Amino acid sequence: MNCNPRVWLLRSLDEALHARERQLSSDESLRFRVVLGAAGLVIALDLAYLAVLPLYPPSQRDAQALAVGLGLLACVGVLVLIRHARSPTLPAVLLCASLSAAIVLATLSMEMPGAVAHSVNMLVPMLAVYLLGTRLGFVFTAFFVFNAAFLHELIHAYLSQARAPFSWPEVWWGNLMGCVSLMVGWALSWLHSTAREESHQELERALRTLRESEGKLLSLIESSDDAVLSLDARLRLVTANSVAQGLFRGATGGTLVPGGRVVEQCPPGLRAWVSEYCARALEGQRLRGEVDVEVDGQPLTVDVIFSPVREGSRVVGITLFSRDITERKKAETKLGEMHRSLLDVSRQAGMAEIATGVLHNVGNTLNSVNVSVNLVVERLRATRAAGLERSVALLRENASRLGTFFTEDPRGQRLPSYLEALSLQLSQERATVLEEMRRLSESVDHIKSVVSMQQRHARISGVLEHVAVPSLIDDALRLHAVSFERLGIVLRREYGNPVPSVLVDRHKLLQILVNLLSNARHALLERDGDDRQLTLKVARAGARLSISVSDNGVGIAPEVLQRLFTQGFTTKRDGHGFGLHISALAAREMGGQLSGMSEGRARGATFTLELPLAAPDVSESRV
């Protein structure tokens, strides 16, 4: 039981009121309490007054008894009205009127001229201003002023007939000062009442705005697809939307209870995690974490945000925002698988492009080999070796008479000059065949070097190693050497001195270089005119190595340049749209960046590959 007198008094007054009256606004119910309390207090005072009434002179007892009886009767009527009235105005009017009549009768029964200036006369006006407002309060105040200034003096002078009215100036002036006090009391009560009403109206407006804001906030929280919970500084639940209740119900089979500690209501496996994050949030940290939970038998991944609620510099609570990200996690997993598949496809496409370059170069070289072989065969078919065989046969036939054969036989006489001419012819044929065999050997060596390069790069794919970029550029150029020579492309190399090596995947870098050189060859092939130039620049740029491939080909339009690295976008009739996109992905995987620029059509283009000189952190790479 609460022993606070104020609480006990308010509870007692509320119990005496009707249930309907207790549900009114705070201002109305408070006025009911004041009327009820004042009526009860007047009844108690009247009863006490009756007890001491015999002590008064007999001439005053009847008037005093009439005043007390009138007051008791009026207060009983007030109590009856309070039980049935819907507004405290009527009981308050009855209370103030009965008190006014009782006090006036009591003062008239007294022969003391200064009784009307007693402080008790101030009670009713001030009570009337509070209960009935300033206007009705002024009516009661004016009544008491009239009584003090004129009525009391006139009645006493008429009844006593012993003196003239207002024959005691000092008393009358004292009563007038009492009247002024009554008016000042009314004015102060009016000021207080006006200020209280304005404050009350301001409070009502603030409460209305607060309720509207609270309603909008609750509507917003309820319309959210996220689970939203609000906790106080002791981690007790303040509010939770329906999504949070549904999620909690599916996880525990129960409901979130407002006022209960959320940590204790969580599933046992999550209590330590929730407690740790809440403790850190109460320190002012805004945290975010993911947790796996089973809801309705289904495993879910939930993203939870712990946001501290501040009041000034002090944390007074926590707001939790929770979202089901299970589908997003599945999509990310699927996207990762697609990315790995795309990388496999890109590697295969890069290998296919390099293999195409190998086949192209080998095919062109085989054409040269075929020409050389055919030429050697034709030379051998047309050789004069048969004439030598006939000369040898002729010498065998005349072996027994060689002297006579060379001096007397016309054939023998012509044979030395014939052998001399034949020797010269055979020497020329031998030189021609040797030259063709040299060319054939060079072509075979070129085929061997191209195939060996392809095997070497294919064998080390996926391994990080220190790569000398100029040497790798030469390997990439070797794949396009024949076509560059046939198109008359002038190649310029501008390498810094020295060029540091980079720690990268050799195969990926070669794939990028081959693709850039292939694109440059196509751009130069479509150029009008014979002045085709290709410039390769390698230079250090801070902590990165810059590799640029520039051509003076057909150039790139601005609208095309924006989409150049998009998957599936191509400007070639037979293109697949993988080359630059895959090259950009490969550059990013190596911690670098591939970019392109062009001043427009027929203005050429420059593609720049930047690679870090330090080894990239492969685990943190994102595509």
pLDDT of 425 over the 90 cut: no
pLDDT of 548 over the 90 cut: yes
DSSP element (H, E) containing 74:
helix 58-84
498 cis-preceded (ω within 30 degrees of 0): yes
Q: What's 489's DSSP letter?
A: P
**Residue pLDDT, tens place only, 391-400:** 778 778 877 7
| CA 518 – CA 512 distance, rounded (Å) | 10
DSSP element (H, E) containing 551:
strand 544-551
pLDDT given at position 111: 62
pLDDT given at position 1: 47
Q: What is the 3-state secondary structure (H, E, C) of 297-345?
A: CEEEEEEEEEEEEEECCEEEEEEEEEEECHHHHHHHHHHHHHHHHHHHH
pLDDT given at position 3: 55
Assign 619 a pLDDT band (cuts: 50, 70, 90). very low
pTM of the model: 0.41
Q: What's 261's DSSP letter?
A: B
CB 125 within 8 A of CB 108: no
Instruction: Find the length of the chain.
Output: 623
**Residue pLDDT, tens place only, 78-130:** 888 877 777 778 888 887 887 777 777 777 666 666 666 665 677 777 778 77
**Residue pLDDT, tens place only, 161-203:** 555 666 666 666 667 777 777 787 778 778 777 777 787 788 7
The more confident residue out of 286 and 447 is: 286
* Structural domains of the chain in order of their starting residue, each with its CATH number: 5-204 (no CATH), 224-324 (3.30.450.20), 331-454 (no CATH), 461-620 (3.30.565.10)
Look up residue 412 and give its amino acid: G
pLDDT given at position 536: 93
The more confident residue out of 1 and 532 is: 532
What percent of the chain clears pLDDT 90, i.e. is strictly above it?
9
